[in-house]
Structure 1
Amino acid sequence: MLIRRGCRVFGLLLSRCSPSLVLSAVPSYRLSSSWYGVKRRSYWKYLRRSILGAPAPPYKRVAQTGDPILRGLAESVPPERISHPDTQALLKKMSHVLRSCGCVGLSAPQLGVPLRVIALELPENLCQMVPPDVRAAREMTPIPLKIFINPSLRVLSTQKISFPEGCSSVQGFSAVVPRFHSVEISGLNEKGEPTSWRAEGWAARIVQHEMDHLDGVLYIDKMDPRTFVNVCWMEVND
């Protein structure tokens, strides 16, 4: 009881401090999963980072909010560079990470590359994991792999639909976000050929979400803040 009460008092004091003061008030060796869920890096990982430096993009994992790359404005890909091995390697890595992480959409900035490239896919098996009534309400249908380079967006319907939405760059959280019901996305495909697609319902939501990433915008910038939740809150409380 005394320890718990002491923690409450300490937490209250920290809540009145500036962020920089909070970090300086807590010794680094105390920052663990019990302190704000901070993940500690093992000594060997620390040593490896010190010797080898940070991993080079494109990353093997999705960048998390806090990484400056997610707040920057992505640059267009010169059409003549689409066939270049580096660009093709990026597209291949995006497709691999998209599937290995169970994502339905991914942007190049999320892998540390500030280019205007997005990949979308909603496989049949992932679609079937959603209850039928939820699929119907959200207008969810399978989407074959689609890649758009230098995409542009046109709103087809100004009607906005609000549903819970998550992001692989804001892992563990969800919030209700309003999105246009139908849009058209145009750009170049992996071969440098012009392509366009009219998307509705959940597909339109995925398109708008990934387009936002290219402009340094996250769904938390557009969410209803009262609906922002930790999707594992029950497990945390247990």
Structure 2
Amino acid sequence: MNVSDALIADQIRAVLTAAETGDGTAPIVEAGNPVLRSQTRPFDGQVDDAELEQLAEVMRATMLAAPGVGLAAPQVGIGLSMFVAEDPGARDPEVAKVRQREPMPLRVVLNAGCERAGGEDVAFYEGCLSIPGYQAVVARPRNIALTGIDLQGDPIAEEVSGWSARIVAHETDHLSGILFLDKAEMRSLATNESVAKFWHQPSTQKAAAELGFSLPSGMVM
């Protein structure tokens, strides 16, 4: 094991120890910490299967407690290419339709990559557990091709659509040191309270018109 892999193993064990001595969750790293701006290393046996499964459990518990729908390893201070994601979907039928937000069961993805899989871009408000209190509109492909491996080492190669694609793309960005604000329409930047007060509509058309930014040309609502 080289120095970098040994560091990853130490980071993982530090998170597991903190979770075991606390409430089963890990502290979430916030913007400004260099780990969020670093390229992650692929999983290559830095820890054994049991520790990897424990890490997935801690990351899921941390994500749900936040609460959030996705969490990447750098967000708990680990420079490893790994994320967890789980979304109950939208309760409002109109929101579910416009945003294509259907339930997504828990998934744990290692060594993830994603690419556009055709279709137009769609732009919605999104936030990040590492940038608490703020949201901004981000344009992302409606469909992406996700690759990687699961906890058992089996390959993942599938197309993901709608809000689930947004979640997966957001988390995969974290693995390359990219935060959502790097891709955001900055005129849309708003506190969580302002989003709830002014921009709670299923689409972002009203926000674009009143805040003065453009939506993707192919975006149809």
Provide TM-score, normalisation by structure 1: 0.69
1:83 offset after TM fit, Å? 4.2
Write the distance in 2 (CA, Å) between the matches of 1:72 and 1:174.
Answer: 22
Match for residue 65 of structure 1? 31
1:212 offset after TM fit, Å? 0.5
When Rg is computed on C-alpha atoms for both structures, the one with the higher figure is 1
1:196-220 residue CA offsets vs partner (Å, 9 max, x unmatched) = 3321111111111001100111010
Residue 210 of structure 1, aligned match among 171, 186, 196 = 171
Point out the more displaced range, 114-123 or 186-195: 186-195
Match for residue 174 of structure 1? 135
Query: Is the counterpart of residue 115 in structure 1 residue 73 in structure 2?
Result: no
**1:82·1:191 contact (CA, 8 Å) conserved in 2?**
no
- Which structure is higher in helix share? 1
User: Matched residue of 1:228: which SS?
Assistant: strand
User: Matched residue of 1:171: which SS?
Assistant: strand
- Which structure is higher in strand share? 2
1:33-72 residue CA offsets vs partner (Å, 9 max, x unmatched) = xxxxxxxxxxxxxxxxxxxxxxx43661221111111111
What are the equivalent positions in structure 2 for 1:1-238 lying under 5 Å apart? 56-57=14-15, 60-78=26-44, 80-81=45-46, 83-123=48-88, 127-128=90-91, 131-233=92-194
- Number of aligned positions between the proteins: 176
Q: What one-letter code is carried by the residue in structure 2 that aligns with 1:101?
A: A
**1:176·1:224 contact (CA, 8 Å) conserved in 2?**
yes
User: Matched residue of 1:232: which SS?
Assistant: helix
Q: Structure 1: which 5+ runs fail to align?
A: 1-55
- After superposing on structure 2, the runs of 4+ consecutive aligned residues of structure 1 that deviate more than 6 Å are none
Q: What one-letter code is carried by the residue in structure 2 that aligns with 1:119?
A: V
Output the aligned Cα RMSD: 2.1
Write the distance in 1 (CA, Å) between the matches of 2:88 and 2:67.
Answer: 9
User: Matched residue of 2:174: which SS?
Assistant: helix
Match for residue 44 of structure 1? none
